[in-house]
């Protein structure tokens, strides 16, 4: 019994994240069926956020402001570098 209690305490955030992912998925389906597109979009966003938190917690990644700022700085640099190398006459499809 102690082993079961310890495992539930250790996995509490992962279990909560998995439960929230399931709930947001079900809410997304229900909202889409009843033509509530805004609520379905919000449920998708919440589900995506919980999924990212779930994966980060399973991988042991920490969530801090410096890491996010560094990620966005690198992303911005790569984006501008890629866009500067694209030809000017390249067609963009909308």
Mean pLDDT of the chain: 81
The per-residue pLDDT for 7 is 65
Q: Is pLDDT above 80 for 57?
A: no
Residue 31 confidence class, pLDDT cut points 50, 70, 90: confident
The structure's pTM equals 0.52
Q: Is 50 exposed, middle or buried (0-12, 13-18, 19+ CB in 10 A)?
A: buried
DSSP state of 86: S
């Amino acid at each position: 019994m102690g082993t079961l209690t310890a495992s539930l305490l250790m996995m509490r955030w992962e279990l909560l994240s998995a439960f929230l992912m399931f709930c947001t998925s079900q809410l997304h389906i229900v909202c889409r069926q009843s033509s509530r597109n805004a609520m379905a979009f919000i449920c998708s966003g919440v589900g995506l956020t919980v999924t990212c938190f779930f994966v980060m917690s399973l991988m042991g990644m920490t969530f801090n402001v410096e890491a996010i700022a560094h990620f966005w700085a690198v992303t911005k640099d790569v984006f501008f570098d890629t866009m500067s190398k694209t030809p000017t006459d390249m067609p963009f499809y909308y």
